[in-house]
Amino acid sequence: MKIIVLVLTILSFLYSEKIDLKIENKRLIEKIDKLENIVKKQEKLLKTKESKEKNHIFYAQECEEKSIFPKLIMKDEYQKKSFDKDEIITFQASAFRLKTDSIIYDGINGNAIDKWERGTSFTSNTMSEGWVKISGYFVNRKWKKAQKELWVRSAQTIKREQ
């Protein structure tokens, strides 16, 4: 009887360990598969990173050797023209509007003679470095020619579209 119990105990132990080993083996195989998938993803990322770096270096060397683009030059009408300090430029008369409340001067860097409100419209056909000469202005929607020399800073003006 003792032998039978002992044999049954040993058999049950061996049988349970086989089951546990099978389960453990399946779990380890699944873990190995997951780790292999992670390694594959990392290898792909590494390859793409290396190819990007190679392409980047390749293109940089190619660009340094020879530029396929011609040297571009801006059209004269769009280039900022540098003014001489006392140079006065005339152009076709245009309407302007004040962006802010502005002080009106009797000359370039002259004395303040008036203050006009924001939005006041005027005309001009003359400018100098940083200044616009007022040739006429609007009173009750009627244009009136300026009787004396009037100047305003060009930073305070907007050229109105026709």
Each residue of 127-150: pLDDT tens digit?
Answer: 888 889 999 988 888 888 988 999
* Residue 145 in tokens: 């020619």
* Residue 52 in tokens: 């990007």
Handedness of CA 117, 120, 125, 130 (dihedral sign): positive
Domain boundaries, the chain: 1-70, 76-159
Q: Spell out the CATH class of 76-159.
A: mainly beta
Residue with tokens 């860097």: 109
Residue 139 contacts residue 123 (beta carbons within 8 Å):
no
Residue with tokens 């305070």: 156
**pLDDT tens, residue by residue, 52-88:** 666 555 444 444 556 666 677 777 766 655 555 567 7
- Global pTM value: 0.47
Q: Per-residue b/e over 2-38, b at no fewer than 16 CB within 10 Å?
A: eeeeeeeeeeeeeeeeeeeeeeeeeeeeeeeeeeeee
**pLDDT tens, residue by residue, 10-56:** 666 666 655 677 788 888 889 888 989 898 888 888 888 777 666 55
Pick the range with the lowest mean pLDDT from 50-54, 91-95, 152-156. 50-54
Task: For residues 128 and 81, give the distance between their C-alpha atoms in angstroms, rounded to a whole number.
Answer: 11
**pLDDT tens, residue by residue, 95-120:** 999 999 999 998 888 899 999 999 99
